[in-house]
Structure 1
């Protein structure tokens, strides 16, 4: 039941973050409207069956987005980014700014924009993150109640092919004793639902979100436990980092502390008590993806640009 609540328009609802948000908002009793490219796709049909109102269109369809915002209370804004190979950094900025501008124009009460925990007062030198900093700045200058969330590294990223799990090892950015915060994508929606439920508390705020902190040694132990056989951990080799500019820059940002994360986990659990640790995620909703990664070879193809 919606209890008289106005709709929330969710972008990216067929993707990871938007899908998490749509699910959490429905559970919290919000009517959900979603912009989808193909209403006949399996993910779109699943959204409709769950009770989501679908609007056919893309980020380039300004008139469709304007109409979709008619009568909505809030907007959850997320855009595709350049490492996915679909859009440029400039495209991402244009889409993010346009959604914010249209939210103001149509009288939306509250916009929640998802950024990255690498974003801060100084630019990173990576378009993937600096595009989000530009969108944050644009939103901050508008006359609208806005909340920025900055998620930590996604747990789902760690079970992508190419990190060596299929060979009994795991290579990543962190040194064995270096700490990095993580977040399960499905937990993002829990935060967004809490934010929309309390605009007085969260309006105008920037919230870094995470649910666990691990080291490389922790990853070795927890992957070994979940796999039932040894999984050794090592940081990416110098040769790998030299050959992949994107990986090298991410590693440098971790060393600088930009990607390590500084979220207050105790305070976040007061907002959302049922956050998942990496261990509980591996044993639960991440188990299938982890098992698949154990048997899937391949190069780490994300973000070569």
Structure 2
């Protein structure tokens, strides 16, 4: 390809999504530039050792972002959202819009923005989804080739403390017979690299990305199989939902459909034939964190955001 020697600027490369994208781009032979706050951190040093060019700066540092984008072909843009506790919804919007505007200024040929699976043109009433809706809307007004992906819920989230794996009772958003689409974080880059590699095919598209669909009962069976002992599945109790407006809001979006996922898995498999099922993830990248979660108690701070 004529642009193959020009780099891709990856935001969030020391995190989950950006890290997955950087790894997939490097594997496919793309030069990668990453904006990092601390180039001496362990994750930054790992990126450097893998061949990533590091530029020190933050999302608020427009001069550093301009430096990172100089001479680049593409930009992968992702921001923290308010449930992380690191930014407000307004900060997320400001950073997302700024990166897109700077990409236009720099003459970037292709911008890929990672939004969220529950996002649409209709507000959800939850700030960290509606912030992404605003960034999406701004990107569509810009004179730049863009692709917007909407990752569904991460399968990696299932092994966080607080869902009850350590007790043998796993609780989550769905009723036992209700389905949800999930995405292995490792697969994100395997969807994004083909987008950069075939820009005409994906120009000005917006679509959800996922790698599997399971019911609550499926999760109980899969976890029992992986643990070698029974793991019972149940939806969050009414008491838990009443005590946590944030968790109740997410659960309502599952019931209404947006957060349950609407990705076309057959079409996605043509982009990434190796996308992982939950069973495959549990046997591979998820094996160690799953085993750790079986013995780790704790709570998830549902009300952040």
Give the TM bin, normalised by the shorter chain.
Answer: over 0.9
Counterpart in the other structure of 2:153: 153
| CA–CA distance in structure 2, aligned partners of residues 68 and 303 of structure 1 | 35
Counterpart in the other structure of 2:18: 18
Matched, 1:216 2:216: yes
| CA–CA distance in structure 2, aligned partners of residues 68 and 210 of structure 1 | 30
Counterpart in the other structure of 2:128: 128
| CA–CA distance in structure 1, aligned partners of residues 129 and 193 of structure 2 | 24
Matched, 1:241 2:241: yes
May I ask how many residue pairs the two structures share in their alignment?
Answer: 304
Deviation, 1:304, is 2.8
Counterpart in the other structure of 1:113: 113
Q: Is the 8 A contact 1:113 1:146 kept in 2?
A: yes
CA RMSD of aligned residues (A): 1.1
Deviation, 1:117, is 1.1
SS of equivalent residue, structure 1 residue 259 = helix
Counterpart in the other structure of 1:50: 50
Q: TM-score under structure 2 normalisation?
A: 0.98
Counterpart in the other structure of 1:70: 70
Deviation, 1:299, is 1.0
| CA–CA distance in structure 2, aligned partners of residues 84 and 160 of structure 1 | 14
For structure 2, the 5+ residue unaligned runs are none
For structure 1, the 5+ residue unaligned runs are none
SS of equivalent residue, structure 1 residue 273 = coil
Counterpart in the other structure of 1:176: 176
SS of equivalent residue, structure 1 residue 250 = helix
Q: Which runs of 4+ in 1 moved over 4 A?
A: none
Deviation, 1:4, is 4.9
| CA–CA distance in structure 2, aligned partners of residues 58 and 244 of structure 1 | 32
| CA–CA distance in structure 2, aligned partners of residues 154 and 75 of structure 1 | 22
| CA–CA distance in structure 2, aligned partners of residues 106 and 213 of structure 1 | 39
SS of equivalent residue, structure 2 residue 258 = coil
SS of equivalent residue, structure 2 residue 259 = coil
Partner deviation per Cα, 1:204-224 (whole Å, 9 max, x = no partner): 001211010000000000000
